[in-house]
């Protein structure tokens, strides 16, 4: 008689502990032409890095939140990475507990700002002017969001503009989690800033009208931030913020992953309309399920299970727990189960 309720309770614990711990995430690593620069786990004692450490894996909420600049309470980082125009950048985003990035809905956008004549290590970018160098939405008209590949464990790819003038720069890679964007204020912003010293002898840069403040460039009611049609694969998508700077747009390589297509339908698709493709995963096409899961995730972010005890849940710092690969596999499985369960 009490078996069913018990089973129910243990299923809930399993979902909470495995699937829902890493509701959010952070930039774990930047890779430039194959060279890896690890970031710090949010909130952990910082080690030397080129990535500005944030205080928590949670998203920045609200388009005018000062933390939209470089992430939650972002700190200066001690190092800078050397880079050159045309370099291949890979942004390796992870969920909490080093699981895969948990979301697959919404675009990814990349901005840069100059730190001026000195190193970026102590450059406060809160009133800096940023320019956009790249953005991706759905990988093809009607297809999945590029972010889906990040959820599958792949890094996000960006090419440093081949005409970029040398100097000290921050590169700000941003994932927009739009799984809750059917409501105003539902968008999750995940910006991450990395410190660069760019070499070479190019002369390219943005024009004044391509420069924006962050926060400043977005509003909570922008069509690409409040998006009632976000789960409709055939709906058009309008990127928030300025267009990709013209000097960077010249770099568009034609690939969906590194293209700078601010207005290109075929590559990054600022207006991917019309297609009926079903390339998106089961979870991306189900708004109510995805939202329920995200709400559950928020509630249980600080809960995780004791591996040696099948039933107990206790509060721990999920961000500093050691890496457990098998959870990645299990969590994907349970996430799907949870979706089925929530949808039934």
Interface residue with ligand NAG, options 43, 46, 154, 222 (CB under 6 A): 154
Tokens standing for residue 146: 């590029």
User: Is residue 341 a contact point for ligand NAG (CB under 6 A)?
Assistant: no
3-state class (DSSP) for residue 274 = coil
Interface residue with Cu ion, options 18, 20, 21, 23 (CB under 5 A): 23
Point out which span in 99-107, 148-156, 164-172, 310-318 binds ligand NAG (CB under 6 A). Answer: 148-156
Distances (CA, A) of 26 to 44, 319, 341: 12, 10, 28
Nearest-approach distance from CB 90 to ligand NAG, in angstroms: 7
User: Is residue 172 a contact point for Cu ion (CB under 5 A)?
Assistant: no
Interface residue with ligand NAG, options 60, 257, 268, 339 (CB under 6 A): 257
Cβ closest to ligand NAG, residue 75 vs residue 162: 75
Point out which span in 16-24, 152-160, 185-193, 310-318 binds ligand NAG (CB under 6 A). Answer: 152-160
Interface residue with ligand NAG, options 10, 48, 64, 126 (CB under 6 A): 126
Interface residue with Cu ion, options 18, 24, 252, 267 (CB under 5 A): 24
Interface residue with ligand NAG, options 13, 29, 75, 84 (CB under 6 A): 75
Q: Tell me how many residues contact ligand NAG (CB under 6 A).
A: 12
Distance CA 79, CA 95 (A): 24
Cβ closest to ligand NAG, residue 81 vs residue 146: 146
Q: What is the DSSP letter of 279?
A: -
273 touches 232 (CB < 8 A): no
Give the CB-nearest residue to Cu ion: 24
Which residues in 34-166 belong to E strands, given as ranges? 35-38, 81-83, 88-95, 108-116, 131-136, 156-159
Residue 225: phi and psi, rounded to 5, are: -120, -45
Nearest-approach distance from CB 221 to ligand NAG, in angstroms: 25
Distance CA 217, CA 215 (A): 6
Which residues in the chain belong to E strands, given as ranges? 25-32, 35-38, 81-83, 88-95, 108-116, 131-136, 156-159, 167-177, 188-198, 303-305, 313-315
Tokens standing for residue 53: 């450490």
Give the number of other CB atoms < 10 A from CB of residue 127.
9
Cβ closest to ligand NAG, residue 256 vs residue 301: 256
Distance CA 272, CA 302 (A): 37
Binding site for ligand NAG (CB under 6 A): 75-76, 124, 126, 146, 149-150, 154-157, 257
Binding stretches for Cu ion (CB under 5 A): 23-24
């Amino acid at each position: 008689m009490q078996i069913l309720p018990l089973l129910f309770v243990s299923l809930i614990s399993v979902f909470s502990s495995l699937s829902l711990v890493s509701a959010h995430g952070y930039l774990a690593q930047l890779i430039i032409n194959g060279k890896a620069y690890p970031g710090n786990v949010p909130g952990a004692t910082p080690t030397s890095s080129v990535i500005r450490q944030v205080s928590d894996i949670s998203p920045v909420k609200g388009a005018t939140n000062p933390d939209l600049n470089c992430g939650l309470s972002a700190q200066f980082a001690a190092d800078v990475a050397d880079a050159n125009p045309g370099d291949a950048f890979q942004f390796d985003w992870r969920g909490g507990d080093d699981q895969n990035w948990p979301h697959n809905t919404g675009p990814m956008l990349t901005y840069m700002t100059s730190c001026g004549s000195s190193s970026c290590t102590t450059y406060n970018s809160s009133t800096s002017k940023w320019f956009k160098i790249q953005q991706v939405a759905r990988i093809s008209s009607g297809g999945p969001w590029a972010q889906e590949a990040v959820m599958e464990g792949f890094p996000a790819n960006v090419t440093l503009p081949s005409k970029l003038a040398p100097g000290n720069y921050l590169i700000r890679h941003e994932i927009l989690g739009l799984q809750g964007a059917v409501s105003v204020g539902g968008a999750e912003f995940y910006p991450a800033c990395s410190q660069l010293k760019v070499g070479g002898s190019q002369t390219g840069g943005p024009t004044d009208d391509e420069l924006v403040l962050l926060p400043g460039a977005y509003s909570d009611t922008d069509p690409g931030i409040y998006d009632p049609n976000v789960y409709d694969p055939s709906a058009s998508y309008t990127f928030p913020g300025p267009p990709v700077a013209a000097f960077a747009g010249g770099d568009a390589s034609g690939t969906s992953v590194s293209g700078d297509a601010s207005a290109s339908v075929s590559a990054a698709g600022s207006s991917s309309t019309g297609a009926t493709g079903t390339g998106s995963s089961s979870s991306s096409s189900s708004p109510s399920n995805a939202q329920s899961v995200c709400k559950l995730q928020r509630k249980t972010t600080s809960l995780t299970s004791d591996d040696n005890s099948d039933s107990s849940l206790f509060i721990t710092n999920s961000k500093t727990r050691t890496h457990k690969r098998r959870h990645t596999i299990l969590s994907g499985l349970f996430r799907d189960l949870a979706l089925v369960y929530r949808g039934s």
